[in-house]
Amino acid sequence: MIGYTTLGTNDLPRAMAFYDALFEVVGAKRIMEFDRGCAWGCRMDQPGFGVMRPFDGQPATVGNGVMVALVMDSKAKVDALHAKALALGGTDEGAPGPRGEGFYAAYFRDLDGNKLNAFCMGPAAA
């Protein structure tokens, strides 16, 4: 159901460098670039992820209670994405680990303070 997710940034070049390096871990690449932002994905017909300067010209702010969840196909990829985010200067919001029956997740914030989650479910989470 989700087509794409967009987060705001006040420093587009810094955000693009962060997500270029972060998404290398899961094989996603830039699929769109424009003056206010950039989007990453694996294919154009699958959900994507973008960052951009807000359309209204006002500063980007972090939404309280807003989180973007990125599905992975293994615990190893959850671990790797979380570790890469921290190595790139992101902050830890919850180390990788089980979060209930059949759900394995890790939480972090990007350089703008946006909260993200990497998770896997089912047999991949075992």
62 belongs to a structural domain: no
Quote the tokens at residue 40. 């990453």
Q: What is the DSSP string of 46-106?
A: S-EEEEE--TTSSPP-PPTT--EEEE-SSHHHHHHHHHHHHHTT-EEEEEEEE-STTEEEE
Check: pTM over 0.75? Answer yes or no: yes
Range of the domain at 25: 4-53+67-125
Q: CATH number, domain at 46? A: 3.10.180.10
CA distance 22 to 7: 15
Rounded average pLDDT over 80-90: 98
Task: Please tell me the total count of domains within the chain.
Answer: 1
pLDDT in tens, 20-73: 999 999 999 999 999 999 999 998 889 999 999 999 999 999 998 899 999 999
CB 33, CB 51: distance < 8 Å:
no
- Tell me the pairing of strands 48-52 and 37-41: antiparallel
What pLDDT is stored for residue 44 in this prediction?
87
How large a percentage of the chain has pLDDT more than 90?
Answer: 90
74 belongs to a structural domain: yes
CA distance 112 to 100: 29
Quote the tokens at residue 52. 């951009």
76 belongs to a structural domain: yes
61 belongs to a structural domain: no
Query: Any idea which residue has 């946006």 for tokens?
Result: 114
